[in-house]
Chains A and B, each alone.
Chain A
Amino acid sequence: MSLIIKDLSARVKDGAQILNGINLEIPKGEVHAIMGPNGSGKSTLSKVLCGHPDYEVISGTAELDGQDLFAMSVDERSRAGLFLAFQYPVEVPGVTNANFMRAALQARLPKGEELDAVSFYKTMRAKMAALGMDTKFTARAVNEGFSGGEKKRNDILQMMMLEPSYAILDETDSGLDVDALRIVSDGVNAMRAPFRSFLVITHYKRLLDYIKPDVVHVLYKGRIVRTAGYEIVEHIEQNGFDFLKAEE
């Protein structure tokens, strides 16, 4: 059981090609990290996998536990177990966090089955407490007026509520102070399990110090150019990405 990406090329709709033949396999239970300089295609990869309408797949395939990911709509991918923690979580005025999560969880139930509201709120409050979030956030509009850190925590809360099989964290560390980073990382680590994988996209070692990856990939100009262990994180932290240019 894995997320398998084969020879994936994609571009901005009617625009530049960003991904140039990505091959990646993330087996269940593993944490993979993707690092790479600005503009290398990290966020594009995450958005293409989730079906963002601004991007289009040119060629290649992606399979989620044997299912053709690109044949599914955005919401079907989520219900099939894929989750994206956004680099910039979106503000949704007028829709409360509670209603948002209820709708998302309700959509996962078989037809005719109703979500148990009492246990829903109980679970949500418990997970909010674990992330150091004020329970007042349940009644607030999704991310509206939230600080950068609060938005990131809210995304992680959603991940904890939806319990996906494959979670992509797109620069979840950006905009987080040290304490928030630790809390968010603790949340992610608590979810590590043999039946769940993570793809952690980041620029910095500090996140990977908290969420220790099993495998690290380096993305450059839309291709995976290195796959290594944690040691490459140290190397990048000290030397930057210049070694990639030297190899060109």
Chain B
Amino acid sequence: MPPLPRSIAILLLIAVAGLATVPLVGGRFHVQLVTQIFVLAVFAMSLDLLVGFTGLVSFGHAAFYGLGGYSLAILTRDFGLVSMGATLPATLVVCGLVSAAIGWLSIRTSGVYFIMITLAFAQMIYYFFNDARGYGGSDGFYILTKPRLAIGDVTLLTLQDRATLYYMALVVLLLTAAFLWTLLRSPFGQVITALQVNEARTRALGFPIDRYKLVSFCIAGILAGLAGYLSAVQFGYVNPAHMGWRESGRVLMVVILGGSGTLFGPVLGAFVFVLLEDLLSGLTEHWLLLMGGFVVAVVLLLPKGIAGLLLSAAGRAAKSGRSAETHPDEQPSVHAIPRGGVDPILETVDLVRQFAGLIAVNRVSVKFSAGKVHAVIGPNGAGKTTLINMLSGELAPTGGHIRYKGRDIAGWSPDAISRLGIGRSFQVTNLYPSLSAFENCRIAAQSRLRSSMRFFRPASRLGAVADRAHRALARCGLGPRSQDAASALSHGDRRKLEIAMVLATEPELFLLDEPLAGMGAQESREILDLLRAVARDHTLILIEHDMDAVFAIADTLTVMVNGHVIATGPVDQVRADRAVQDAYLGHRDAAE
């Protein structure tokens, strides 16, 4: 997450100070209205963690909000609990468990299906309470005694009091913001932001992305429950409408209006939205018409929300005073990895992949020795990329075995394979465009931590990870460009960055899918030199169409035609093979 421009930070601080005085100067109505805004802001921030930072658009987020309220109401009425020390933790646990269950089921889907499945689960919960007569059905029911915080006989807080509730909501809002801010800078936060930008890349780097999505979903669910708890305290009753899809749509609107992907955006959105609702409903009975028009206008005119507007204004003001940063340690260092003594390091046995009627890879058995450069060549449609995708776990084989150091890894997930020490680059360069070259490599290096489920320490303080990222960049000649955004790099540098990222994961085996595709002559030479250097301490398996490059770098050659391997062995031997000359090399010569 980019740091907040100073001008905006100062404005926010002044705003908080001003808000702290509202109960002293404002009337009953204002105190209630602003409390309502604080609660909505917490709710909206929780959704933004999903929508703006994890890339999961949930259309059922109100379910957890409603659940927070119902769980307080039920604990109070049926269990006689009035202590906040009991009801609040219990409520958060309930919301956490329910969101874990729903999240675990939902994250298997993506895109529109995720939007719809979260909606479906929310509607199930909605109807459960709507039809449950014991809980008042569609009318809901009242919370007659509001929570208190007491030690022994001394009552510290009673949320019955309007001003107390106001300050409590303000504190919860600030704590939530601080918590999310810390979270997003932590290793965990870096991973969820990365997977939002590029899911396939993140998985290929070795992160079990479903687990990260699930944790994010649970945190969001718990925070929404917290907001729901406060809202139920404020209004003194719960109603199934609070968990319906309209409420989910409303909070989504607040996030977008404010600006998703920022923390202060949803807070601003909550202010504008509630004040606008208040203003419009005073104007006319048919204020929803105006509200609808406003929503449409925001989508068409303000896609990045109010926060986007402010950030670009602040960015223009700050631009003049900033200079380019450079990074100190860029000495290349030898990237030595102990080489496993197993030979062959990787082996496929009767590997098959079938797509509907087509057999893309047909009983392929090849051995790849450690420490060598292996090239896989063949005409288009020979099954080379399918083969690599099976080796890296992107595709599950239909049949056969893949043995890495003797262990059968066929059908493993890409992240598990990456963690074993098999890295890959993609045919189309696959990066995080909005992050700097250094940050790209840092995420990659971070994947080698035992777990990035660390929530509080900033990722930037992981010294060893940063060192590894710098080493990988330097090795690929990108040291001077480490602070440039990946999207600003040239085509060749982007390819080098992708190689640097894979190096930062410290693989033993490196899979490269057409590393020279689309490169000019000079760029090709540079990449080739780089690959030669990488090959000194890695095993390489590469697919390549450029024959001169293949002959220049490869130790062994595997030729595929129509899903079959027709020859495999040392380069010279395969070049001399009659069948290969007829089927492939000869055909190529004729074509050129």
Q: Decide whether A and B assemble into one complex.
A: no
